[in-house]
């Protein structure tokens, strides 16, 4: 019988062995130059300002590194990945090139029907649901768990809510892998309940229901939030005791505001003693998300002509960064450098209002001094940031190779 462990959370001790490959795949020379010059690059009349905190966070680096370690550890085994390792198309493409097979979603979790005991399955940085985890454990295959520590902290909070009979009110996107995994933690306790709200507007629905003023009453509320709540959720029963948590990559200030507003509503409706006994809230935004949002706010205090936010269109923390930037300056969320065409002067970007990709020309003035701010989501590697900087310079007729 094999002595190979079937659950691995701390890698295989192969960090040094994969480091050169990771550096070759993801490091960026222009980013190194920006860092060496206090996050500032001047070429002709173009000034590039890079946020102090940007790109890959520790949790993402760890997840990607463990995937590379796994391939090196098991060169001859079939390796599967439950969804995407992170929300970056280039990183996921690299893993596919390494022969890692991405499992497809099913009605409940991912489709593990093709996984056999001899196989290896990587769990992504977002984590997987309890159902997924138990399914894999029953298979007996090797599981390499790259779930981010910040996500695990939220899970512990939600589990504690369920244990104490509180409904977990989760600020997040109900369809996001992380939020699905977080919500599933309530299943550890009989009657565990959750409700996911996307933003303050949806939180206001919750507050209106608590106050007895939600239009349409119980049936209308259940219809509106059927997709975002536990199957047995009953607003009359389960909005009496609430614990607030959040998807770690949401806009931090909105998560805090939702927690404060819901608590204030419970106090107004039921009294201060009820709030003290039946309401809990904690800031579970991860430190990397907070650091990147803080760094963007600091950069936006400077005079900037536009902001470029680089990262996957399905990356929640990147979308949050773009939303912050758009409040202060003209902002373009590009998936990568290919969104910028120096020849046609066109930019393809994700429109904040619709979430759809749109194209614009003349986005970058052809002459005159201009200051361009740049940041990137926590799943964006440095080489993709550097390539984007290069295309900005090329759009202005400047050769990145001459920038020294």
φ, ψ of residue 142 to 5 degrees: the values are -80, 125
pLDDT the model gives residue 283: 80
Q: Tell me which of 65, 159, 178, 254 is the catalytic residue.
A: 178
pLDDT at residue number 367: 94
Distances from the Cα of 80 to the Cαs of 8, 45, 135, in angstroms?
Answer: 14, 48, 14
Cα–Cα distance for residue pair 54/168, rounded to 1 Å = 31
Q: Report whether 263 contacts 290 (CB < 8 A).
A: no
Give the integer Cα–Cα distance in Å for 335 and 347. Answer: 11
Distances in Å between the Cα of 274 and the Cα atoms of 159, 164, 266, 320 are: 22, 15, 8, 33
The secondary structure element, H or E, covering residue 120 is strand 120-123
Q: In the 3-class helix/strand/coil scheme, how is 69-83 assigned residue by residue?
A: HHHHHCCCCCEEEEC
Task: Give the pLDDT confidence score for residue 1 in this predicted structure.
Answer: 42
Give the per-residue pLDDT at 69: 98
Specify whether 343 is catalytic: no
Helix segments in 58-192, DSSP class H: 58-73, 89-97, 130-139, 149-163, 177-184
> What pLDDT is stored for residue 404 in this prediction?
62
Between CA 381 and CA 88 the distance in angstroms is: 9
Question: Which residue in 34, 301, 7, 259 sits closest to 133, CA to CA?
Answer: 7
- Beta pairing partners, 144: 8, 122
Q: Give the Cα-Cα-Cα angle 18, 92, 12 (nearest 5 degrees).
A: 30
Res 106: pLDDT: 76
- Determine the 3-state secondary structure of 2 from DSSP: coil
201 Cβ neighbours under 8 A, 6+ residues apart:
none
Supply the pTM of this predicted model.
0.92
* Average pLDDT per consecutive 10 residues, the chain (404 residues; last block may be shorter): 78 97 94 96 96 95 97 98 94 96 86 95 96 96 96 96 98 95 96 97 98 96 97 97 95 94 98 98 86 96 98 94 97 97 97 95 94 96 96 96 78
List, in order of start, the domains of the chain with CATH numbers: 27-57+288-402 (3.40.1010.20), 58-147 (3.40.50.11270), 150-285 (3.40.1010.20)
């Amino acid at each position: 019988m094999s002595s190979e462990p079937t659950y691995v959370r701390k890698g295989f001790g192969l960090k040094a062995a994969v480091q050169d490959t990771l550096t070759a795949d993801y490091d960026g020379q222009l980013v190194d130059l920006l860092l060496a010059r206090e996050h500032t690059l001047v070429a002709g009349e173009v000034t590039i300002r890079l946020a102090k905190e940007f790109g890959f966070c520790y949790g993402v680096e760890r997840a990607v590194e463990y995937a590379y370690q796994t391939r090196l550890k098991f060169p001859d085994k079939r390796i599967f990945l439950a969804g995407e390792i992170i929300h970056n198309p280039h990183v996921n493409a690299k893993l596919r090139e390494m022969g890692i097979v991405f499992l497809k979603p099913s009605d409940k979790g991912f489709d593990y029907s093709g996984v056999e005991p001899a196989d290896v399955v990587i769990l992504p940085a977002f984590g997987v649901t309890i159902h997924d985890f138990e399914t894999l454990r029953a298979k007996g295959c090797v599981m390499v768990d790259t779930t981010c520590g910040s996500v695990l902290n939220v899970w512990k909070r939600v589990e504690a809510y369920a244990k104490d009979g509180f409904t977990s009110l989760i600020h997040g996107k109900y369809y996001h892998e992380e939020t699905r995994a977080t919500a599933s933690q309530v299943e550890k306790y009989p009657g565990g309940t959750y409700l996911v709200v996307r933003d303050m507007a949806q939180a206001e629905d919750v507050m209106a229901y608590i106050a007895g003023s939600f239009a349409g009453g119980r049936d209308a509320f259940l219809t509106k939030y059927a997709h975002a709540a536990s199957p047995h959720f009953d607003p009359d029963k389960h909005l009496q005791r609430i614990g607030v948590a959040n998807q770690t990559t949401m806009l931090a200030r909105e998560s805090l505001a939702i927690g404060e507003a819901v608590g204030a509503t419970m106090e107004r409706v039921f009294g201060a003693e009820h709030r003290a006994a039946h309401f809990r809230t904690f800031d579970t935004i991860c430190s990397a998300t907070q650091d990147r949002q803080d760094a963007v706010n600091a950069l936006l205090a400077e005079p900037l002509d536009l902001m470029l936010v680089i990262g996957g269109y399905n990356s929640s923390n990147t979308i949050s960064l773009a939303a912050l930037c758009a409040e202060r300056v003209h902002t373009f969320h590009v998936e990568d450098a290919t969104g910028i065409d120096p020849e046609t002067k066109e930019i393809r970007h994700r429109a904040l209002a619709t979430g759809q990709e749109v194209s614009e020309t003349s986005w970058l003035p052809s002459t005159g001094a201009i200051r361009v701010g740049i940041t990137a989501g926590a799943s964006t590697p440095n080489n993709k940031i550097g390539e984007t900087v290069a295309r900005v310079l090329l759009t202005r007729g400047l050769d990145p190779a001459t920038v020294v």
